[in-house]
């Protein structure tokens, strides 16, 4: 029996997801250290926020990161210096990027090429320009890096948080199934908004009132327009489409319906926008009435039609008995239509946002990377 | 760049799932051999049916197993001799057990202890007596075999065929979530039967007529009593409950409702049973009416209540808008209620039976094992 291997963990980001992840990491590290048969021991050696960092030159474990961040923080290192620090660690390193930062994402290929594995919910790495996506998987040991020296990269939480969306798509493809269509509700905000705007049981408020309600309940970004423009959903569809083999150039290279009335795009602030939105309720009311007259409801969905090489995001009407219509609360739903599964798709459903379930996807990815490190 | 590693595959069973798997294996082997960056090459070195086998003493690949099985088959080897043959192969070996044979299942611990990995949909290995389940995971490198010399074992298709049920449960547990309840429809036969017997839209035939209809459409075992006794569902619940940490002794150690009227248990044949079943329709009709009067429908479900250490299988009533009620065709649905996911469970839904989707789960498990072999 070989002694347990020390694996070094570096975490960027200590916001909502970052804190939830650090909590899960501490539980995981403690379970592993208590299991005599576990071949790994985990050591947190780096934690940085947007402007400060805690780490030790001798790679000593950050046993109490909260206290150290409070009392012992230094200015953060630039990414190349962070890489230099990490590659010299006396063992394998996994970088956990819990930010949505484009600069960190841009550095993934060099981290991977230098043997550092990455787990992350950061959508920008996989939905930005296609070259970055290709560079990441060309550098990764679980992509096409044939030297075997690269790090592994996993990003389950970049779509549907902890729901097993990306792993399921990969299983379908790797076993030779043909994925024909992926369709679903990919935004907790949009889910909550439309489940309230037009419940299958009838009723529901005016659109602007439901947006304000969703914002007040904390379901939207600080500026609700960041949800209503559809870009968050477009990013997730870009990721799934690319994994399914479509060379999607960017999240703005296919039709994305924005729910921001053209006249309000130039509003100075989110509050100004919310104040003026009621003037445009008639449009959304008309859509709702039209759907209702057909026994349907309106939902904000995304879809990838693989054979047609077509991706789109926007409003669609669904029969009240359709699983997409019957969604509850702020749940996501993702349906995979494939040759093997036939008429009834493989469906994954549940909370697709929130710090704990997003961090869960990251932690599960970390466990997968640990198994691959040897 | 190291040369690709040869991994040797031994397959037991060439029935519906076995044939579908061999087809998928051939696709996988060919994709891997065409990928310059793939670190593996696959070789099929053993294929056996219930009474014959094809293999070569020099471990030469079975390039055309269908023809060889036809023209070149030998009597099969006993399991200890098969092990002796496989452990001498010049590389890592994965045994794919596509049977539902108890004897093969009983031999898993010795296969694993001798370094042979196992992927299988065989429920009997994980739902029979608890000692066998414990022995399997004590021997497995991904269980608690601390020598690191054991094989890996994966069995996704033992519950819900290719649906990501077991992998999702493991992710939830390994990341420290608390699973409170697992509930769902775990049998394609029972799903089809009750979706027809009491559709949410009303109507549906008498119970005996729907059983005959399901049998005629090929949705039941040759003897429909093998579905109606609930044992197949009980086996799946046993597996999930044990993975969730409950020491379930056997699939008959908790309440399982059989839909075979007590008076018909002694019927000589399945046909005799089907002929007499209509005499007992009144009971099922009464249940259906009772449910309908409450705005509900009857479904055959299984559930694991983890904190209460309680497993049960049988008929329950669900609101017509409940995801379990709204299931279509012969789909399975599995809902995980956990601390992190809160009121709205994580749901997996889709075909839970059929040769292609069962084989898909086996093939996906094989890919996972390949990544772990080094």
Say what the pLDDT of residue B146 is: 67
Q: Give the residues of chain A that fall short of pLDDT 70.
A: 1-2, 146
pLDDT confidence of residue B184:
98
What angle (nearest 5°) sits at the alpha carbon of residue B202, between those of residues A348 and B163? Answer: 20
Query: How far apart are alpha carbons B96 and B126 in whole angstroms?
Result: 15
Residue B92 phi, psi dihedral angles, 5° rounding? -70, 145
Could you report the predicted ipTM of this complex, rounded to two decimals?
0.96
User: Do A273 and A200 belong together in one domain?
Assistant: yes
Using one digit for the tens of pLDDT, what is the confidence trace for B11-66? 999 999 999 999 999 999 999 999 877 888 999 999 999 889 999 999 999 989 98
DSSP 8-state class, residue B30 = H
| B120/B60 same-domain check | yes
Residues A182 and A284 in one domain: yes
CA distance B93 to B135: 20
CB-side exposure of A102: number of CA atoms within 13 Å?
4
Same domain, B242 and B148: no
Q: Please state, as a whole number, how many other Cβ atoms lie within 10 Å of the Cβ of residue B31.
A: 13
A216 and A94 co-located in one domain = no
Judged against a pLDDT cut of 60, whether residue B299 lies above it is answered with: yes
From residue A271, alpha-carbon distances to A187, A275, A277, A339, B249 in Å are: 22, 6, 10, 47, 60
B344:A350 CB<8 A: yes
Q: What is the CATH number of the domain that holds B264?
A: 3.30.360.10
Report the Cα A364 to chain-centroid distance in Å.
14
Is B245 annotated in some ligand binding site? no
Q: pTM of the entire structure?
A: 0.96
Closest-approach residue (CA) in chain A for B330: A344
Same domain, B137 and B114: yes
Residues B199 and B265 in one domain: yes
Domain tally, chain A: 2
Same domain for B229 and B293, yes or no, is: yes
Euclidean distance between CA atoms A112 and A14, whole angstroms: 22
Chain A residues in contact with B39 (beta carbon < 8 A): 148
Segment B307-333 shows an average pLDDT of 95
Adjacency order of strands within the sheet including A52-55: A74-75, A52-55, A40-48, A5-12, A92-97, A117-119, A153-154
Q: Locate the DSSP E strands across chain B.
A: 5-12, 40-48, 52-55, 74-75, 92-97, 117-119, 153-154, 179-185, 296-305, 310-319, 331-338, 346-351
Residue A73 shares a structural domain with residue A201? no
Give residues with Cβ within 8 angstroms of A136, minimum separation 6.
A108, A109, A112, A125, A126, A143, A153
How many other CB atoms are there within 10 angstroms of residue B107's CB atom? 20
- Percentage of chain A lying above the pLDDT 70 cut: 99
Asked if A342's CB is within 8 angstroms of B351's CB, the reply is yes
Residue B175 has pLDDT above 60, yes or no: yes
Higher pLDDT, A145 or B349: B349
* Of A9, A14, A8, the residue nearest A359 (C-alpha): A14
Residues from chain A contacting residue B345 (CB–CB below 8 Å): 350
**Mean pLDDT, rounded, of chain B:** 95
Work out the end-to-end distance of chain A between its first and last CA atoms, rounded to an integer number of angstroms: 14
User: What domain range is B157 assigned to?
Assistant: 5-161+357-371
Of B1, B148, B347, the CB nearest to A147: B1
Chain-centroid distance of CA A111 in Å reads 20
Give the nearest chain A residue to B346 (CA atoms): A350
pLDDT (0 to 100) of residue A149: 83
Question: Is B146 within 8 Å of A36 when comparing Cβ atoms?
Answer: yes
B168, B177, B344: residue with CB nearest A331: B344
Which pLDDT score, from 0 to 100, does residue A1 have?
A: 53
Q: Cα distance from A265 to chain B (closest Cα, Å)?
A: 35
Question: Does residue B173 sit in the same domain as residue B269?
Answer: yes
B328: nearest CB among A142, A163, A344: A344
State how far residue A332 is from chain B, nearest Cα, in angstroms: 10
If asked whether residues A157 and A169 sit together in one domain, one would say no
| Confidence band of B1 (pLDDT split at 50, 70, 90) | low
Share of chain B above pLDDT 90, in %: 87
Assess whether B180 and B291 both reside in one domain. Answer: yes
Convert B289-321 to b/e letters by CB count within 10 Å (16 or more is b).
Answer: eebbeeebbbbbbbbbbbeeeebbbbbbbbebe
**CATH number of the domain that A112 lies in?**
3.40.50.720
- In the predicted model, what is the mean pLDDT of residues B276-291? 96
Cβ contact B37:A144 at 8 Å: yes
Enter the DSSP assignment of B195: H
């Amino acid at each position: 029996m070989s002694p347990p291997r020390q694996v070094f963990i570096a975490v960027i980001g200590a916001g909502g997801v970052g804190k939830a992840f650090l909590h899960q990491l501490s539980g995981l590290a403690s379970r592993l250290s208590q299991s005599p048969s576990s071949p790994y021991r985990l050591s947190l050696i780096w934690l940085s926020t947007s402007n400060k960092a805690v780490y030790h030159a001798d790679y000593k474990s950050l046993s109490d990161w909260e206290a150290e961040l409070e009392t012992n923080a230094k200015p953060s290192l630039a990414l190349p210096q962070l890489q230099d620090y990490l590659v010299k660690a006396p063992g394998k390193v996994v970088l956990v990027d819990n930010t949505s930062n484009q600069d960190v994402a841009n550095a993934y290929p060099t981290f991977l090429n230098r043997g550092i594995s990455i787990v992350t919910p950061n959508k920008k790495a996989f939905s930005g320009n296609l070259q970055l996506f290709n560079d990441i998987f060309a550098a990764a040991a679980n992509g096409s890096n044939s030297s075997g020296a690269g790090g592994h990269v996993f990003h389950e939480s970049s779509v549907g948080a902890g729901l097993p969306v990306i792993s399921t798509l990969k299983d379908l493809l790797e076993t030779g199934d043909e994925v024909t269509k992926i369709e679903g509700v990919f935004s907790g905000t949009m889910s909550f908004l439309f489940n309230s705007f037009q419940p299958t049981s009838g009723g529901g408020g005016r659109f602007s009132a439901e947006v304000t309600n969703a914002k007040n309940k904390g379901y939207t970004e600080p500026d609700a327009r960041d949800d209503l423009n559809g870009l968050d959903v477009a990013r997730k569809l870009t990721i799934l489409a690319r994994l399914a083999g479509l060379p999607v150039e960017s999240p703005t290279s296919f039709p994305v319906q924005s729910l921001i009335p053209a006249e309000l795009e130039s509003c100075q602030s989110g509050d100004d926008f919310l104040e003026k939105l009621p003037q445009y309720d008639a449009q959304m009311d008309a859509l709702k009435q039209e759907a209702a007259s057909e026994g349907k409801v309106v939902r904000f969905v995304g879809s990838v039609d693989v054979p047609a090489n077509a991706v789109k995001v926007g409003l669609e009407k669904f029969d009240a008995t359709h699983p997409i219509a019957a969604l509850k609360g702020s749940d996501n739903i993702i349906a995979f239509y494939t040759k093997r599964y036939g008429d009834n798709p493989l469906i994954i459903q549940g909370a697709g946002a929130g710090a704990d379930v997003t961090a869960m996807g990251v932690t599960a990815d970390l466990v997968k990377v640990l198994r691959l490190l040897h």
